[in-house]
Amino acid sequence: MQGQWPRQTSFEIYQASVDGPVGSSMVVQVNRQIWNWVLTGWQNYWDPNQILPVRDGDELQFAWNFAATAGPYTPSGGANVRPVVTLYLRAEKGQQ
C-alpha cells in the first residue's frame, strides 16, 4: 500500500509510558499550562478514564526535576538519565 496517512487533526492520549531517572518528579504541560504534577516521574500510571485531547497545533511538554546526586539509571535498567515518554494515541470518538 502506498500513499499518505490520513491527516488527523485531533487525537486522544489514552495511555503514556514514562521511564525517567529514579527519584525524579515531573510536570506535564499542555500549551504551557500545567495539566498534571507527577511526584514519581519514574513510576506512575496514566488513567485511561482521564484522556487528554490533543488538537492540531497543541504543544505537550514533560519537564523533569531530579537531584544532581540521583544515580544515572532508570527502572528499565537504562544508563542514560534522559527520560523517555511513549504516548499511545487514538482518534477521538466520532473522528475519522
Whether the pLDDT of residue 1 is over 50: the answer is: no
Domain span at 47: 9-67
For range 5-30, the mean pLDDT: 82
Asked if residue 78 is part of any domain, the answer here is: no
The cell for 19 is 521511564
Asked if residue 45 is part of any domain, the answer here is: yes
Residues 25-79: tens digit of each pLDDT = 888 899 999 988 888 877 776 766 778 888 888 999 988 887 655 555 666 666 6
Higher per-residue confidence, 75 vs 22: 22
Whether the pLDDT of residue 82 is over 90: the answer is: no
Higher per-residue confidence, 10 vs 41: 10
Asked if residue 36 is part of any domain, the answer here is: yes
Asked if residue 1 is part of any domain, the answer here is: no
| Structural domain total, the chain | 1
